[in-house]
Amino acid sequence: AQRVTQPEKLLSVFKGAPVELKCNYSYSGSPELFWYVQYSRQRLQLLLRHISRESIKGFTADLNKGETSFHLKKPFAQEEDSAMYYCALAGAGSYQLTFGKGTKLSVIP
């Protein structure tokens, strides 16, 4: 069975401080990993996916197969980064996503 674990329910950081949102997964094959974000009163939207290896809004995430992790990082947090962040996994060849329970990021001015 596949599983996604986000150990922090809530993460508070000061503006300008580095951010790391943790995500660990359990899957026997080669998964595809995603980070989704939900800003207040907005719909859930894709932030980034590991296969594209791009940086969106200053966020990056690297898939570490050895540690089965896909942590989301940003060097300098901004107030507009305050949101709910979900890590998600799709199994090889699957359209289904398994989501973590989410981490609420609060950036303190």
Partner 1 sequence: DVKVTQSSRYLVKRTGEKVFLECVQDMDHENMFWYRQDPGLGLRLIYFSYDVKMKEKGDIPEGYSVSREKKERFSLILESASTNQTSMYLCASSYDRQYFGPGTRLTVT
Q: Which is nearer to partner 1, 34 or 70 (CB)?
A: 34
70, 85 Cβ separation under 8 angstroms: no
Q: Which is nearer to partner 1, 29 or 43 (CB)?
A: 43
Size of the site for partner 1 (CB under 8 A): 17
Q: Which is nearer to partner 1, 6 or 82 (CB)?
A: 6
Give the shortest CB-18-to-partner 1 separation in angstroms: 25
**Among the listed residues 89, 87, 97, the one whose alpha carbon sits nearest the alpha carbon of residue 38:** 87
- The CA distance from 90 to 109, in Å, is 35
Residue 90 pairs in a beta bridge with 32
By CB under 8 A, tell whether 27 contacts partner 1: no
- Candidate residues 18, 26, 44, 65; the one interacting with partner 1 per rule CB under 8 A: 44
- The CA distance from 22 to 1, in Å, is 20
